[in-house]
Amino acid sequence: MNDLLPAYERPVLVRHARGAMNKFSRAASMQPATELDGVPYDRLLEAYGSPLFAFSERTLVQTYRQLEDAFATRWPRVRIAWSYKTNYLDGICRLLHQQGAWAEVVSGFEYDKAVRNGVPESRIHFNGPAKSEADLDKAFRGDAIVHLDHFDELALAERVARRLGVRPGVALRLNLATDGVPAWTRFGFNLESGEALSAVRRLIAGDVLQLVGLHCHIGTFIPEVGPYQQAARKLALFANLLRADHGITVDFLDLGGGFASHNTLKAQYLPGTEASPTFARYAEAIVDGLEALDVDPLERPTLVLETGRALVDDAGHLVTTVVANKRLPDGRRALVLDAGVNSLFTAFWYKHDVVPTAPVHGIPEPTILYGPLCMNIDCMRDTLQFPPMSPGEHLVFHHVGAYNVTQWMQFITYRPAVCLVGQDGQHALLRRRETLDDVAGCEELPAWIG
Amino acid sequence: MAVTGLNATDNPGPGVGVVRALRASPEFDGRIVALAYDALEPGLYARDLVDDAYLVPYPSQGTEALLARLEHVHATVGLDVVIPTLDAELPAFIALQDRLAALGIATFLPTAAQLEVRSKARLVALAAQGGLPVPASRVVNDPAELYAIHQHVPYPLWVKGAYYGAERAWTPDEAVTAWHKVVATWGLPVIVQAHVEGEEIDVNAVGDGRGGLVGAVPMAKTLLTDKGKGWAGIAIQDRQALALAARFAEVTRWRGPFELELVRDRSGGYHLLEVNPRFPAWCFLTAGAGMNLPWAVACLARGAPLPDLSTYTVGTMFVRIALDQITTLDTFRALATEGEWHTTQETP
Amino acid sequence: MDDRQQLRDLALNDKGFVFDPLTGATFSTNPTGLQILRFLQEGADRSAILAGLQARFDVRGDDLTRDLDEFVSTLRRQGLVGQDFGL
């Protein structure tokens, strides 16, 4: 070791080619992310091992307040229902419930988890196209708000309600056309074809369910606000029709979710940090659409939002360790990381923002990031300009808080630990790393195998 | 004054045209700073046009990286005006305009909302609201819709990407193939637009941001490349085209330069195919015809008095040439390794 | 073509700009790569290059042998030396 000499860097030679020689690209000035809310990533890795999901309580709470402020300053009654499927770790859910969020669940399992987290059942919106009779029974007994998805479910719900002798409040999930977003016609009753109106008539004729809300959810990761304005307007006009023709005044209009986080889709050119609209812009568009409601301003329905991704995505980070450097035959550099697509499911559709956890030097090169799985699909990031890294150094993937710790799979190896960094610098586990007993514990061995 | 879009290839960016127009103003007195994304952008080597050349980060790297680089440029050579000329970089410059203004760097740009409203996917709605004649168009995000598209858009039709790229189709199968090709390159949304047979007319104009038009010059293409790009054109006295430009500026309250791409059909009807939110590559013609629109934008940005923009000389032509510039390895080396190069570095 | 001659013909600049007059190709290299190219131009052999790198840089647990082999394979791939060139 000799501190007087320049630091050794792995030798690199990069040919100049048009389109690949911008020394001011982000890679050249790539700012490392050394800590999360004041806690160095290295310290988190020492405590919980690598790879590691790390959540920022500060970002989560701030994002929630930004969302709430954006809408509450524009509409008198706003309700945020936390979308459990986005991230149903108890610690995350409870933080959001403490901020005032209701629960939005799409299965009996999620329903039970919300109840376990202390959510009053009357504050649960129960969505999804495949609720069982037992699910509906539980929801109606608990006075939860069931969102009906199709005619078979409507009929089943009526049978359950009659059996229980209750007249539960329900919502109808609608699907509708907006410009620029492919309609999700598989969920709910179609508005334009008249199916939604048929469902209302059917519901009135059944005379056991009470229509208290209308719900639509136009899509996922929609980085523009125009479609929300259209959807809000269509819901508002439909609500007007229900009042005028059927005397039904709904309590709430649920615009669903789908707001873009700061992630960047693979097909997007501009980074999500630039391209994704702010909550204020979504709020302006939705409230603009809701102005079509012809009700007294004092009797405006509650606006319900279930936008899970935009709430939690930016709070989550995945810290990973470089296992190996490779030089591919085509000259590209490859890094093998200890976290793969089994943990970071969203790597299939995002260009995740990824940076080193320590300052970097040297010429960035076209580099592809692979996970540790012995599977060709295990690519964490398509080729990007990336500075040189050595085994044992760490990278952090940003904006990974949504869908990963629910859609991850136990495959080839254990699922990693998840930790939370608190607002005052304390940190703790939200979920420990899996063990062999966790994975094999559910298995049974037929007696004849022995 | 800084200008981007120096990629003067056979499908040129507008930067070189803007620079030449700025220099053509008798009032111009200063240095031209070229901002480029690649050390091989040909305009960087036009030493009679460019005094200082800098590489800047790609728009996909985000606004902070761009701002940091512009601050460096400002600190080393000083900037008073920046004229961005490429579609993909406009959102970044619009987002940065206040912070640039705080540094003393002026711009004259449309708003983010204006940029969105003229996007190909939104143009139909704008047309309906503002009485602009846009050919039958439809946003198609599911290729299955293409099998019934003839109910809305007749064949032959164009399948277009949101930023660039257009494929012509005569049958549903061709349309589906074109759709996948466009999506693979440019992503969603995809716009399907009816083909209109006729003569292409482009208008370069500048809106004042209050609904008025600062100036406008219509041009008919007289020579096309194999890619359909104008290689020669002539300034024409087309009152209908001018009226459409004025109408567009009025409806959108457009601020800054724009280009209307029009087609006049055989019966004399006008069709608005696209609106580009920036100068066209042929904008030097406006200076040549006596209505220097790039200089007008430089004046508007700085709040300086406008030049006389009352008339232009109908019949002024442009004929483009490709010419080989001579440069030294040292110039290229400086751009490739240091990311900047200045004429003052040259040994006389 | 003599590999060593081709290497000697490379124009190197202190900032890591590399120009191959044979093909017109240009490259960027980092200080370590530049030093290896200079050693190669001087005719140094494998052990001399490794020793020279140790003497000129603060080396901490890096695998110089592997890095040198990888760099030489990059030179081969970029046509700066022949396919048979080895150290």
Q: List, as ranges, residues 278-337 from A with C-beta within 8 Å of C.
A: 327, 331
pLDDT confidence band for C35 (50 / 70 / 90): very high
Q: Tell me if C31 and A6 make a contact (CB, 8 A cut-off).
A: yes
User: Chain C closest CA to B293's CA: distance in Å?
Assistant: 39
The answer as to whether A369 is a domain residue is yes
Ranking A397-406, B244-253, C22-31 by mean pLDDT, the lowest is C22-31
Secondary structure of residue B106 in the 3-state scheme: strand
Show which of A278, A306, A334 is a domain's final residue: A306
pLDDT confidence band for B128 (50 / 70 / 90): confident
Helices (H) and strands (E) in chain A, counts: 13, 21
The fold for domain B136-194 equals: Dna Ligase; domain 1 (3.30.1490)
What's A290's domain CATH number?
3.20.20.10
Show which of A306, A335, A362 is a domain's final residue: A306
Q: Tell me if C26 and A7 make a contact (CB, 8 A cut-off).
A: no
Please say whether the beta carbons of A37 and A421 come within 8 A.
Answer: yes
Verify that A299 and A319 share a domain, yes or no.
no
Phi, psi of B263 (to 5 degrees): -130, 135
| For residue A26, pLDDT beyond 60 | no
Q: What is the pLDDT of residues A272-324, one digit of tens each?
A: 888 889 999 999 999 999 999 999 888 899 999 999 999 999 999 999 999 99
Verify that A302 and A320 share a domain, yes or no.
no
- Tell me which residue in C27, C32, C75 faces A8 most closely, judged by beta carbons: C32
Verify that A301 and A333 share a domain, yes or no.
no
- Tell me which residue in A265, A267, A274 faces B91 most closely, judged by beta carbons: A274
What's C26's domain CATH number?
1.10.10
How far, in Å, CA of A149 to CA of A163, rounded?
21
* Counted domains in chain C: 1
Verify that A199 and A296 share a domain, yes or no.
yes
Report which of residues A254 and B145 the model is more confident about. A254
Phi, psi of A176 (to 5 degrees): -150, 160
Q: Domain B2-109+323-345, CATH 3.40.50.20 — does that match? A: yes
Structure tokens belonging to residue C28: 């960027």
pLDDT at B225: 81
Radius of gyration of chain B (CA): 20
The answer as to whether A241 is a domain residue is yes
Q: Which of A391-405, B116-130, C16-30 has the highest mean pLDDT?
A: A391-405
The answer as to whether C84 is a domain residue is no
Terminal C-alpha separation, chain A: 58
- Contact C22/A at CB under 8 A: no
Q: ipTM strictly over 0.85? A: yes
Q: List, as ranges, residues 279-338 from B with C-beta within 8 Å of C.
A: 329, 332-333, 336-338
The answer as to whether A91 is a domain residue is no
The answer as to whether A419 is a domain residue is yes
Report which of residues B119 and A315 the model is more confident about. A315
Averaged pLDDT for residues C43-63 = 91
What's A394's domain CATH number?
2.40.37.10
What is the DSSP secondary-structure string of B166-218? EEEESSHHHHHHHHHHHHHHH-S-EEEEE---SEEEEEEEEEESSS-EEEEEE
Residue A233 belongs to what domain range?
Answer: 127-306
Averaged pLDDT for residues A159-172 = 97
Q: Tell me if A13 and C60 make a contact (CB, 8 A cut-off).
A: no
How far, in Å, CA of B44 to CA of B9, rounded?
12
| For residue B182, pLDDT beyond 90 | no
Q: What is the pLDDT of residues A418-431, one digit of tens each?
A: 999 999 999 999 99
Verify that A292 and A333 share a domain, yes or no.
no
Report which of residues C18 and A28 the model is more confident about. C18
pLDDT confidence band for B347 (50 / 70 / 90): low
pLDDT confidence band for A179 (50 / 70 / 90): confident
Verify that A169 and A278 share a domain, yes or no.
yes
Q: What is the pLDDT of residues A95-146, one digit of tens each?
A: 999 999 999 999 999 999 999 999 999 999 999 999 999 999 999 999 999 9
In this chain, the answer to whether the domains covering B136-194 and B197-319 adopt an identical fold is no
Averaged pLDDT for residues A384-405 = 94
Q: Tell me if B116 and A224 make a contact (CB, 8 A cut-off).
A: yes
The answer as to whether C86 is a domain residue is no
Report which of residues A374 and A269 the model is more confident about. A374
Ranking A370-384, B106-120, B208-222, B235-249 by mean pLDDT, the lowest is B106-120
* Counted domains in chain A: 2
Verify that A291 and A367 share a domain, yes or no.
no
Residue C11 belongs to what domain range?
Answer: 3-77
Verify that A341 and A234 share a domain, yes or no.
no
Verify that A298 and A319 share a domain, yes or no.
no
Q: What is the pLDDT of residues A29-48, one digit of tens each?
A: 678 999 999 999 999 999 99
Nearest CA in chain B to A262: B62
Averaged pLDDT for residues B265-289 = 94
Verify that A345 and A426 share a domain, yes or no.
yes
Q: Which CATH class is domain B197-319?
A: alpha beta
Secondary structure of residue B45 in the 3-state scheme: helix
The domain segmentation of chain B, as residue ranges, is: 2-109+323-345, 136-194, 197-319
- Tell me which residue in B38, B68, B339 faces A18 most closely, judged by beta carbons: B38
Please say whether the beta carbons of A173 and A127 come within 8 A.
Answer: yes
pLDDT confidence band for A23 (50 / 70 / 90): low
User: Chain B closest CA to A229's CA: distance in Å?
Assistant: 14
Q: Tell me if B88 and A270 make a contact (CB, 8 A cut-off).
A: yes
Give chain A's mean pLDDT.
93
Nearest to A391 by CA among C68, C63, C54: C63
Contacting residues for B157 by C-beta, under 8 A, at least 6 apart? B149, B168, B169, B175, B192, B193, B194, B195
pLDDT at A22: 58
CA atoms within 13 A on the CB side of B292: 22
